[in-house]
Chain A
Amino acid sequence: MTTLDSSKEIQKNNSEVNETHEDFRMFGLITFLIADGMTFAGFFAAYLTYKAVNPLPDGAIYELELPIPTLNTILLLVSSATFHKAGKALLKDKNSDSQKWLFITAFLGIIFLICQLFEYFHLPFGLTDNLFASTFYALTGFHGLHVTLGTLMILIIAWQSRINGGRLTSQNMFPLEAVELYWHFVDGIWVVLFIILYLL
């Protein structure tokens, strides 16, 4: 297990190995998110190419309803803000406030998923109906998977930021910061997806 230390200098004791180095877990996470973003970029590129060169069969062009996805966009943007609040609260050692904001964020994530499922059940097309339908479900489904994982991670860190015996403190912010960055990333992807899939 690694422990955290505030000193930046390399320390060396006589016999045992006890060196310190900068924490670059966030650097690794950003690199991973760039890779993850490239997966979405591939999907978006495929979708836009299909839209440009593969005409749909007659009567298969569907206008998507906008109210639910717009609500979902707002939900995710608000959840990014509430997550930020949670981080601020933890930094000031207000663990219970932080936990409250995290639960609100997770709740917003769950509402997002419910809305998404509601939309799926009320769409006039299924996965294999045509190319547009398949791409629609692949894109939103892959994003929904990210939201599901994110919500689970938020619930885990909400549990870990409890006052008695929780691992998250103002000295150990990394888990919260990591999930927060991931969550902002997923929100950003949703905004791009919303523009490309629903508005274009």
Chain B
Amino acid sequence: MTISIDPQKANNESLQPKGWLRYFSFSLDHKVIGIQYLVCGFLFYLIGGTLASAIRIELASPMSDFMPRDVYNQVLTLHGTIMIFLWIVPVVNGAFGNYLIPFYVGARDMAFPRLNAVAFWLIPPSGLMLVASYFVEGAAQAGWTAYPPLSITTPQSGQIIWILSVLLLGGSSIFGGINFIATIIKLRRPGLKLMQLPMYCWAMLGTSLLVVLSTPVLAGTLILLSFDIIANTGFFNPVLGGNVVVYQHLFWFYSHPAVYIMVLPAFGLVSEILPVHARKPLFGYTTMVFSIMGIVVLGLVVWAHHMFTSGTPPWMRLFFTIATAFIAVPTGIKFFNWVATLWGGKISINSAMLFSCGFIINFVFGGITGVALAQVPFDIHVHDTYFVVAHFHYIVYGGTVFIIFSSIYHWFPKVTGKMLNEKLGILHFIITFIGFNLCFAPQHWLGLNGMPRRVAEYDPQFQFVNQISSLGALLMAISTIPFLVNVFLSVRNGKNAGDNPWNALTPEWLTSSPPPVENWEGEAPLVEEPYGYGKEISEQK
């Protein structure tokens, strides 16, 4: 059975608002939805960044003098939840996935456009609800992990709003995942083979599998947690015979894959950006595909490495240590493939390339500390210290956020038809890179020396290093200014980009900039070699 796109629908499309107003409508166009995700995510990034600045201001002195301790807990909970569920996951999956995947598979839209719009429009209300919970008897205080019994004993209204909000965002994520799987597997242009797809498609396929398999478990867990809070049941309440470790298992069954949900798409994006700016084919396409799928499978069976101090039995520690160490293998393969892609290439030093290289440097550092953390004796020493905070931010900020910026510099000409200013872009990179490393590298030292995380007050001996870290955070806050100025100036008076300013070969560059509503004027092009750099252009056709 087949579905044909009715001309009626095309007429309805023409009734939709034009210009910038369409970004506020229930648009079914995957490109509009992608930009909606990106801008909405960026606004929440600014909120989450402000909260991070508040945390660093508080930690510049050993006493809790900037805000009371319970407010500090609310701020760190909101910071974590907003950054993960409202910035990184929606942007690196939703924004770039919606914008690029239909181009890459040679389609005119996603498989389920209405579901796609619903998935986006779940995000702003749940995000606003989460932020607003601060003004209603205070936000949740139990951190983004919401471990019971802490989440059961802290004030209820904030925690319940937090749960509702995360459930809605999880639903949005699942709808998106279903859509990506269907689009990549089923909506490919006839003649396009799976092994000819750009790497981002593979990354999104793997990510979406993780989303579909693990997010529902988090939803179920949070429903049980809300029963504990509202109905006084005892699933996770030891006083009533419950078991807190069960919550941790179920939570990390989602939340460890969530790390891959945040970083796998970034792997895909960097694999698109590096070959273009190094003018070389992506090194080791097949090994890249198998490493992504390897990470997906292994990522589902390593969750208990977050729980080495939760009374896990020795056989479990052994299994999860080994499984975690194994993840370093496919990740290492990808890392060496990127380096080999750059090796001997005709590298252009521009903002997109710089952010991608920054990603490679930061990510390998975060990866090494990750392997260290997987070892039980070391993990027991640094568990719940700033070492973990540093490791996590090296992966998620140094890794994924660097790639988000790199991707914005790379695809901005396609989306708007205008080039971004390179000087401001390089300035943005330099401040971000220095600020980021200044902020988080010292935290490794803090953690090794025993400074616990999630506390507003600390031993005065740590003050100087904390102030260095806060200085780095200040630089990171400043770094958004050249970026925002750049975007606003370039949208208005940027240099015209033309259809393909980077001379890239992936399909999204083979249409006009910005692309028309249905992506291509004529038939979708068949791109059999998305990374065929260094070959004759005529061979492409």
Minimum CB distance partner of A172 in chain B: B1
**In A27-51, which residues have CB < 8 Å from any B CB?**
27-28, 31-32, 34-43, 45-46, 49-50
Q: How far is the CA of A10 from the CA of B3 in the complex (A)?
A: 10
**In B188-237, which residues have CB < 8 Å from any A CB?**
190, 212-217, 219-221, 223-224, 227, 231-235
Residues of A near B224 (CB, < 8 A) are 43, 46, 138
Contact of A16 among B7, B187, B232 (CB under 8 A): B7
Q: How far is the CA of A150 from the CA of B35 in the complex (A)?
A: 36
- Whether a CB of chain A sits under 8 angstroms from the CB of B66 is no
Residues of B near A41 (CB, < 8 A) are 217
Interface secondary structure of B, over-half rule: helix
Contact of B234 among A18, A22, A43, A130 (CB under 8 A): A130
Residues of A near B10 (CB, < 8 A) are 16-17
Q: How far is the CA of A68 from the CA of B234 in the complex (A)?
A: 27
Contact of B241 among A21, A43, A57 (CB under 8 A): A57
Query: Known: A28-B182, A35-B178. Contact between A127 and B243, CB under 8 A?
Result: no
Whether B182 pairs with A24 at a CB distance below 8 angstroms is: yes
B512 to chain A, nearest CB (A): 17
Whether B182 pairs with A6 at a CB distance below 8 angstroms is: no
Query: Known: A36-B216, A46-B250, A135-B235. Contact between A31 and B182, CB under 8 A?
Result: yes
Q: How far is the CA of A17 from the CA of B7 in the complex (A)?
A: 7
Whether A2 pairs with B6 at a CB distance below 8 angstroms is: yes
Contact of B3 among A4, A34, A46, A54 (CB under 8 A): A4
- Whether a CB of chain A sits under 8 angstroms from the CB of B186 is yes
Whether B518 pairs with A17 at a CB distance below 8 angstroms is: yes
- Whether a CB of chain B sits under 8 angstroms from the CB of A70 is no
Contact of B112 among A3, A18, A28, A138 (CB under 8 A): A28
- Whether a CB of chain A sits under 8 angstroms from the CB of B380 is no
Residues of A near B9 (CB, < 8 A) are 1-2
Contact indicator per residue, chain A 3-21, by CB within 8 Å of chain B (1) or not (0): 1111110111000111111
B162 to chain A, nearest CB (A): 19
- Whether a CB of chain A sits under 8 angstroms from the CB of B453 is no
- Whether a CB of chain B sits under 8 angstroms from the CB of A53 is yes
Contact indicator per residue, chain B 162-194, by CB within 8 Å of chain A (1) or not (0): 000000000000100111011001110010000
Q: How far is the CA of A54 from the CA of B238 in the complex (A)?
A: 10
Query: What are some 27 contacts across the A-B interface (CB < 8 A)?
Result: A4-B2, A16-B10, A17-B5, A17-B7, A17-B10, A19-B5, A20-B4, A20-B5, A21-B187, A22-B3, A27-B186, A31-B177, A31-B178, A31-B212, A34-B213, A35-B174, A35-B212, A36-B216, A38-B214, A39-B217, A41-B217, A46-B235, A127-B231, A128-B231, A131-B240, A134-B227, A142-B220
Apart from A3-B4, A17-B7, A21-B2, what 16 extra A-B contacts exist at CB < 8 Å?
A4-B3, A18-B4, A19-B4, A20-B5, A34-B213, A35-B212, A38-B217, A45-B249, A45-B250, A46-B250, A49-B246, A54-B242, A128-B234, A130-B241, A131-B243, A134-B227
Closest 7 CB pairs of A and B: A42-B217, A39-B216, A38-B216, A134-B233, A42-B220, A24-B186, A20-B4
Chain B contact residues, CB within 8 Å of chain A: 1-10, 108, 111-112, 115, 174, 177-179, 181-182, 185-187, 190, 212-217, 219-221, 223-224, 227, 231-235, 240-243, 246, 249-250, 253, 518, 523
